[in-house]
Structure 1
Amino acid sequence: MRSTQDELNTIRELICQTITREAGIRTTELAEMINIPERTMREHLRWLEDRGRIYQEKYNWYPLEDPRPQLRPLTFSPEEGLMLYLAVRLLVKLQDRRSLLSERMLHNLAQALSQDTKIGEYILQAAYQLTRRKQDAAHSRKSETLFTAHINRRWVRLTYQPYNGEPFETNFAPYTFEPSPIGMTIYTHGKSTIVNAMRTYKLERIQDVRLLSEPFEIEEDFDPSAWLKNAASIIGGDEVTEIVLRFSPSVVPRLRENSWFGFQEELIPDGDHLIMRFQVADTTDLKPWIRSWGAACEVLEPAALREEMMGETRRLAELYGWYVHRSTPSQQDDDPLGLNTTLNDFFG
């Protein structure tokens, strides 16, 4: 007995063959020719368009050649397979929504790595973990459309909602993608026609995306990592700001365990404390990392970032009913340690 998925695949292949044979055919004509409801036909056409099989001009449908590259077979040593499993674990942690594309990939990996080691079993467990994520069909469709556009080198038409500002539409060529642990998301970087320049868009803020027929080319000298130059996570650039942080003794061993940002950080002992000095293009991605250390991390420079963190700390204290203020110089003379001021702030 044939499965529903087999029937869907058969219908979609028939639609593609018909459009190839009858280039320029309209939706109503297709529905009548294949004998399925027009509404159902529109759903199939959108599915095929999102995957780069067909494209629409006005009311007419045309076939697209499939330039999809084929991946070559790979052979992994058991140690390499285990490293691949660690990458899979990061993928599962990154995705807060269910992704059928990821699940299919993990099942294929599990099958390929099922012999001789338990790595395939571990990867299969990761796939089952993804199935428990919340369903978001619209997000999955947008992601797959962008991936298809990148693979087939096709422009897309997208609607984007900035964090601050009004939504806008633009044609976009997705050059590359980058995951970010901050916000558990993926960004795409490429050329945007609204500014005729390279831009970075967050997938969750893309409201709608449609594959276009026009191809794009990625310049030969394009460096996928160049846009992350001097970035703490995603936002990079050539202009940098020097950051100086001071860490409490309790976290110094933990701080020394990692190189945190992929570029050189200068560590300077300061008694029992440790000062970290480095440069970044933008502090937006850096702030969550600073906050994660709590009171064990003090911002020394730049002054603007220090003031911002002080303001956040003050508001956080007030949120829990603690009202902190700075003592005046005269108060410091009577109370050099600030104990009375602190006690009054916290206990009234």
Structure 2
Amino acid sequence: MAKESFDKEIQFLRMLVLTSGAYSRQQFAERLGISVHTFDKTLRHLKEVVAATYQQIPESQGKEFAETLRYSYFDSADPMLLFLFRAKSVKETESQRISLLLAAMNEKALTTMELLDVCSNSLPAESAQPDEKTIRNDLKYLEEVGVIMKEPGPRPFRYRIHNDFVQELTADELIDLYDFVDVMANTQVPSVQGYLLRDGLKKHMNRSSPSLASIDPFLYKYHYYSRILDEAHLFTLLKAIRSRKNVQFLYFSPKNSQSYASKNTNPLFERDMEGKQENTLPLKVVYDHQYGRWYLLSYNTRHGIKKYRMEGITHLEEGESADPDIFEEHLKELEQKITYSWLIDTGRPVTVQARFFNPGDLQPNFIKERVCLQGQWGQIMEETEESFIFEIVVNGTTEIKPWLRSFGSSCEVLTPHSLRNEMLTEWKEIIDYYESV
């Protein structure tokens, strides 16, 4: 499947989650910058993806389509939208061929030519038959990701499944490993690869002993769907940063009325397209735990340091390599600009002082513990039995304000006065919401 289609499905699913079906077909298509016909076609394709993804799950573990495709946060404890990564990680033809190769190598070690014969004899006659070069490329890919290994010995080389690790684990060790991966995938970022590893372990446990995977000891409520969807671009960007390469993409800022544009020759959609073509040198990727968002920080020859929300990036492609010295120069410039950033703000540094009130006689003092844990480089300047004053230098107050606000009545902003007045205005608005009717 083309990269463009993957982008379209990512934005399609993101909107479906955020709107919970409140948009009509026409509104949905306009917001995405596609036609109603393309909307219907994409929806049909997503249904096919879901059906194909879950058809191999045992009946006892199977999911009805309607249950699987629940987009409301309240309806499911599973990390929804992960099925897109399971189904779109390889093309359909690649998926069929690789499945055959793995099934053959699971029985015994085979050479490239023997695997070519397996594919030729097993693939349907109407499908494209692979050649030796294709099989070698598949084996190279599978070896790189650690799925298979090359057996020692003379040419021609023989390949077999590399599953020694899980095969040697006892039942208790398998359960411990599964629980560890489950916890890490749900609490750390990035998480998609962890979920895929967890599901692979669960299938292995079901094959060896169905009773092993019958109970999940941990249940999580997933908050941020965009976190999973944006990981589709994450590793491409990290690779570009490591190799010091420029990237090109079509960007839709959060203020745009559209979030996607199809690559076609229709003048209507070309005229209405609100995305902006960007050519930039990626320097750093930052994750915002407060809102579950990924950000790309990069250098642009016209505008200098630029920041992008990754949810607005589509049609991402690698570009030309940058000079290593120039890359390091821009990276150093970025690090200086974000030295006092609460997240990614590069504005003027300002000193923020706030008084935090202790929670009475409660022990431990969870207010102080949270401030010390999350307060980054800030310091407690003054302390009494009732409260303490916290001081920190940050670039601007926009990013730290939600954190201060999250403490509710346990936090009073002292300086700067502009931030204090902003907080007063916001709290007065909240009071008005709760006035008796």
Bucket of the pairwise TM-score, normalised by the shorter protein: 0.5 to 0.7
Cα drift, residue 180 of structure 1: 1.7
Structure 1 equivalent of residue 281 of structure 2: 173
1:143 to 2:234 alignment: yes
Bigger shift: 259-268 or 159-168? 159-168
1:243 maps to amino acid: V
- The answer as to whether partners of 2:185 and 2:195 remain within 8 angstroms in 1 is no
Give, in whole Å, the separation in 1 of the partners of 2:417 and 2:382.
Answer: 20
Match of 2:317 among 202, 211, 225: 211
Give how far 1:104 is off: 4.6
Q: Contact 2:358/2:386 (CA < 8 Å) preserved in 1? A: yes
Q: Where in structure 2 are there 5+ consecutive unaligned residues? A: 1-92, 102-126, 130-140, 142-175, 203-211, 257-273
> What percent identity do the matched residue pairs reach?
18
- Quote the Cα distance in structure 2 between the aligned partners of 1:179 and 1:87: 21
Rounded to whole Å, the distance in 1 between the matches of 2:222 and 2:389 is 44
Deviation at 1:140, TM superposition (A): 4.4
Aligned partner of 2:338 in structure 1 is 228
Q: Quick one: which of 95, 113, 137 aligns to 1:5? A: 95
Aligned-partner Cα distance in 1 for 2:299–2:100: 36
Residue 243 of structure 1: how far off its partner (Å): 0.7
User: Matched residue of 2:376: which SS?
Assistant: coil
Residue 102 to residue 162, structure 1, CA distance change in 2 (3 Å):
same
Seen in structure 2, the aligned counterparts of structure 1 residues 294 and 172 have a Cα distance that, compared at 3 Å, is same
Residues of 2 paired with 1:126 and 1:189: CA distance? 38
Q: Which residue of 2 aligns with 1:200?
A: 307
1:287 aligns to what?
A: 401
SS at match of 1:143: helix
Quote the residue 1:92 is aligned against: 186
Provide the C-alpha distance between the structure 2 equivalents of 1:235 and 1:296, rounded to a whole number of angstroms: 26
- The CA distance in 2 between the partners of 1:9 and 1:128, in whole Å, is 31
- Correspondence 1:301 to 2:415: yes
**SS of aligned partner of 1:305:** helix
Counterpart amino acid of 1:293? F
TM-score (norm 2): 0.44
Deviations 1:215-234 (A, max 9, x none): 12453453585453112233
Q: Does 1:157 align with 2:248?
A: yes
Picking from 349, 357, 362, the partner of 1:248 is 357
Q: How does 1:27-176 map to 2 (within 5 A)?
A: 89=183, 92-93=186-187, 99=192, 101-104=193-196, 139-164=230-255, 167-176=275-284
Q: Residue 321 of structure 1: SS of its match in structure 2?
A: coil
Tell me, in whole angstroms, the C-alpha distance in 2 between the residues paired with 1:9 and 1:148. 27
Which digits, 9 at most, give the CA deviation of each residue in 1:171-225, with x for residues without a partner?
Answer: 1222222222111122222212441x1222221232x132134112453453585
Q: Deviations over 1:64-109 (max 9, x none)?
A: xxxxxxxxxxxxxxxxxx9xx999857634669x83x44356689x
Whose helix fraction is larger, Structure 1's or Structure 2's? 2
The CA RMSD measured in Å over matched residues stands at 4.6
Secondary structure at the residue paired with 1:162?
Answer: coil
SS, match of residue 250 in structure 1 = coil
Matched residue, 2:62: none
Partner of 1:55: none
8 Å contact kept, 1:92–1:126: no
Q: Can you list the C-alpha shifts for 1:9-53, whole angstroms capped at 9, x where unaligned?
A: 999xxxxxxxxxxxxxxxxxxxxxx959xxxxxxxxxxx9xxxxx
Equivalent position amino acid for 1:191 in 2: Y
Match of 2:10 in 1: none
TM-score (norm 1): 0.53
Whole-angstrom CA distance in 2 between matches of 1:313 and 1:241: 22
Which residue number in structure 1 is paired with residue 292 of structure 2? 184
- CA distance in 1 between counterparts of 2:238 and 2:100 reads 23
Displacement of 1:144 in angstroms is 3.8
Farther off after superposition, 174-183 or 163-172: 163-172
**Residues 92, 299 of structure 1: CA spacing in aligned structure 2 closer, same or farther, 3 A cutoff?**
same
- Residue 12 of structure 2 is matched in structure 1 by none
User: Do the aligned residues in 1 keep the contact of 2:250 with 2:316 (CA within 8 Å)?
Assistant: no
1:260 aligns with 2:350: no
Q: CA deviation at 1:142?
A: 2.8
Higher RCO (CA 8 Å, separation ≥ 6 residues): 2
Q: Which runs of 5+ in 1 are unaligned?
A: 12-33, 37-47, 49-81, 112-120, 323-346
Write the distance in 1 (CA, Å) between the matches of 2:367 and 2:223: 34
